[in-house]
Structure 1
Amino acid sequence: MNKTKCIIFDLDGTIGNTLPLCIAAFKKAIEPLAGRVLSDKEIIATFGPSEEGTVRALIPAQYERGIEDYLRHYRDMHAMCSAPFEGMTEVLDYAKDRNVRLALVTGKGWRSTEMTLDIFDIRSYFDVIETGSPLGPRKVQGIRSVLSQLGITPEESLYVGDAPSDIEASREAGVPVVSAAWAETADPELLRSFQPDRLFLTIEDFKQYMEQAVQ
């Protein structure tokens, strides 16, 4: 195993349990403008682009209002998830203490990403932050940008994410991938079917693996 010099994290469902918050904020913002009730499944089906893409898909005629309402509700409701998953800050501390470079590649838009990083008080851990695009998924480009900026090879890095799309993006970028299955929103069996390099059900198990990978 190559020594891991860089760990790239997803945000929602990986660092914190923010997916329920996202869905709740979308419902609160979009349902009044759409004049109907939205299911969780309908909202999740639009994920890939940033939240701007979700709003454009569901209420294109009221795009600007929808975005601003979403961000306002996202911030106001963030008490639903006021801290990272238990043990995650210790993971970040351990990596930083051993000079492992940390990066964030998320599909979230930059404004909601900044809100969450500030509320979690973890922004300073990350050397590079790549956020999503309203035009469509860009995790492959985000991962490649991180490696380019930090001067690290794909084999020396690791992506940690909770979705099948994270596995696919990592494979395309040539980066080893760990599936984070510790969130209530994760589907471990579905993730296993995509054959990640490793899958962990708890942050503690991931931390033990990481301690070996960064030696």
Structure 2
Amino acid sequence: MNSVVSRTWSAVLFDLDGTILDSAPGIIDALTDTFAHLGLPVPSREEFMAYIGPPLLASFQERAGMTEVQAREALTIYRKDYRRDGAFDSAIFPGILGLLDSLRDAGVPLALATSKPEDQARAILAHFDLTSYFTVIAGASEDDSRTSKAHVVGHALDELQQAGADISRSVLIGDRIYDVEGAAAHNLPTIIVEWGYGSPAEAVGAIATVYSADRLRELLLG
């Protein structure tokens, strides 16, 4: 899985949380406030790490045992809290800006593919001056009709194609098994970054794992 990837990529899709941004502090604070607001036992920080990556609506049901109605209420509370206090409580991972510069200089179209609501993702990218790097910014829909990573990746690919990009040799960069599975639904390979929030086992199915932005640059640009 760690052999040199010798393809020339026509487009690169990036996950956001755990791939571009270390956004765990703001997410965990908002989750903590959400559980406290609902009068529920607050999971540990380590337990909350598993909530980062997959759609929160599903995590509330599968990990916290909420009904769909309860999960939707929790999601509404979380989003209000996160927008108010946590959305910008993040930091760009080391080397990412240089990598994005290199990809832009090489003329490779980039898309963001995140499970965050799309409007929220746009605001976060703008806050960190990252918007200009991306041809497409794709995220979950506010009405939750587009929530899974597979749906988001499909949306990103459609938008790239409409923008005139060649998507025939696209690759997704992410940190969780949900990225691998979402990309695989569209026959896209995935490169997993080790600095994110996933465990080594979640890299199964990825074509490579990387430990640094410099190594990722080598695999993307040669």
1:142 aligns with 2:152: yes
Which residue of 1, 8, 14 corresponds with 1:9?
14
**Gaps spanning 5+ residues in structure 1: where?**
none
| CA pair 149-36 structure 1, distance change in 2 beyond 3 A | closer
Q: How many residues align?
A: 207
User: Which TM-score applies when normalising by structure 1?
Assistant: 0.80
| CA pair 73-166 structure 1, distance change in 2 beyond 3 A | closer
Which residue of 38, 45, 51 corresponds with 2:43?
38
Question: Contact conserved, 2:173 with 2:193, CA < 8 A, in 1?
Answer: yes
1:197 aligns with 2:197: no
Over the aligned positions, Cα root-mean-square deviation in angstroms equals 3.0
Residue 103 of structure 1 deviates from its aligned partner by 0.2
- Which runs of structure 2 are paired with 1:128-207 in the superposition (5 Å)? 128-133=136-141, 134=144, 137-151=147-161, 152=165, 155-183=168-196, 185-187=197-199, 189-192=200-203, 194-207=204-217
Question: Contact conserved, 1:33 with 1:66, CA < 8 A, in 2?
Answer: no
User: Which TM-score applies when normalising by structure 2?
Assistant: 0.77
Residue 164 of structure 1 deviates from its aligned partner by 1.0
| CA pair 111-39 structure 1, distance change in 2 beyond 3 A | farther
Q: Which segment drifts farther, 65-74 or 158-167?
A: 65-74
1:48 aligns with 2:54: yes
Residue in 2 that maps onto 1:71: 80
Question: Contact conserved, 1:154 with 1:175, CA < 8 A, in 2?
Answer: no
Tell me the alpha carbon deviations over residues 132-161 of structure 1, each in whole angstroms, 9 at most, x when there is no partner: 253574322322333333335654111001
> Residue 185 of structure 2: SS of its match in structure 1?
helix
What is the identity percentage for the equivalent residue pairs of Structure 1 and Structure 2?
23
Instruction: Work out the CA distance in 2 between the residues paired with 1:149 and 1:78.
Output: 25
Residue 170 of structure 1 deviates from its aligned partner by 1.5
**Gaps spanning 5+ residues in structure 2: where?**
1-5
Q: Which segment drifts farther, 16-25 or 129-138?
A: 129-138
The amino acid of 2:159's aligned partner reads Q
Residue 180 of structure 1 deviates from its aligned partner by 1.2
> Residue 13 of structure 2: SS of its match in structure 1?
strand
